[in-house]
Structure formats: structure tokens, C-alpha cells
Amino acid sequence: MRLFAALVPPPEAVADLEEFLTPRRAAADFRWAPAEQFHVTLAFVADAAESRADEWLERLPEALEPVPVVRVRLAGPVAFPDPARARVLATGVDAEDEAAGAEPVLPRLARRTRTAAVRSGLEVDGQRFRPHLTIARMRRPTEVSDWVRLLDTYEGPWWPADRVAVVASHLGEGPRGRPRHETVAEVPVGT
């Protein structure tokens, strides 16, 4: 199984971002992410045995219980690896963290989600966590500075990050050969 754990924005946040992007999409020949697949990945597992995935789902509630619920929003630009030769264009994610000096909540949420996966015997993608929501992919490295400046003006509505979705990604089974996403569990955050 190919799985990821993610924050999934509520319909109003998706609609707001879609309203911002829709009139601008025709200006670039990017592979735009479909709105129904918008998510903020916390942990990615490329190949999970079903028994290990079940164990991860059992561990997640306890792992996420100590993490406080904070409000988040999509805001600002992200380009990977950088704006001069981007392969991915994304929005950033802001969080209203609970206390100055404490570990920021989103990295803590990602760390606890990943740790639960590793303790379940799963191999997690080890890339550094940078909260973002992918809006487009490029076929080849592309200069996207104009898009970065445009996305710098975007701030979506706030919503509570109160649950983590665990999603199975079925490659090539969606429209136009895209992955089909299937939510297999939603795990509450906090007590």
C-alpha cells in the first residue's frame, strides 16, 4: 500500500484557494493538482504491508493526543527546489501556535505521525518537513518567480487542524492517469 498522513483543508478553504487560482491557471502549462486532492502531507510511506499499516492506524490516536489543536491557513508561496528551477509550486501553511518558545505544532504533528509509522515497522520518506500544499507540478525545472510573487499575496481562511487523515494513494487509477486517493482513517488531534 502507498499511504500518507495529511491535514485535509475543509471545503471553504479549498473553495477559497480555487477561487484564487482558477482565473490564473490558463497562464501556465503546469500539471495543476485537482482540488479534491488538496492536502498537507505530514508523513509519506511509499510501500506499506497491510499489517504494518493497521498497526500505524492503531498507534496514531495515542501519538496525536498530546498535540494541541491549532488554527491553520494556506498562505504564501513555496517552490521546490527553488523558484529558479521549480518542479513543484505550492502554498505555505501558517499556524497559530499555542506558546512562544514551544516547538511549533505542525512540525510536532509531523514528527509524531512519522514516529508512529516507524515504530509500526514502516519506512517513512525522510525529507525535511516543510508544511505546504502542492498546487502544481512542472514537467521540467521551470522559473516560477512571478508565481511566487503572486502567491505571496494569498492568505486563505483559518481552520482548526483537529484531525489527521490517513490516505491510500492508488497510482494511475484516477482521472487522466492521476492517483486515486482513498481516505482509510481520520484520527483526531488533541485530547
Q: pLDDT by residue (tens digit) across 57-82?
A: 999 999 999 999 999 999 999 999 99
Is residue 74 within 8 Å of 18, Cβ to Cβ?
no
Instruction: Give the tens place of pLDDT for each residue, 109-158.
Output: 999 999 999 999 999 988 889 999 999 999 999 999 999 999 999 999 99
- Per DSSP bridges, beta strands 163-170 and 40-45 are unpaired
Q: What is the pTM of this model?
A: 0.91
Percent of the chain at pLDDT above 90? 79
| Per-residue model confidence (pLDDT) at position 155 | 97
Residue 177 burial by Cβ neighbours in a 10 Å radius (0-12, 13-18, 19+): exposed
Query: Is there a contact between 135 and 141 (Cβ–Cβ < 8 Å)?
Result: no
Which one has a higher pLDDT value, 32 or 101?
Answer: 32
* Cα–Cα dist 86/88, whole Å: 6
What pLDDT score does 100 carry?
55
**CA angle, 53 as apex, 52 and 58 as ends, to 5°?**
95
62: CB partners within 8 A, 6+ apart: 116
Sole residue written with cell 501556465: 28
Strand partners, 43: 5
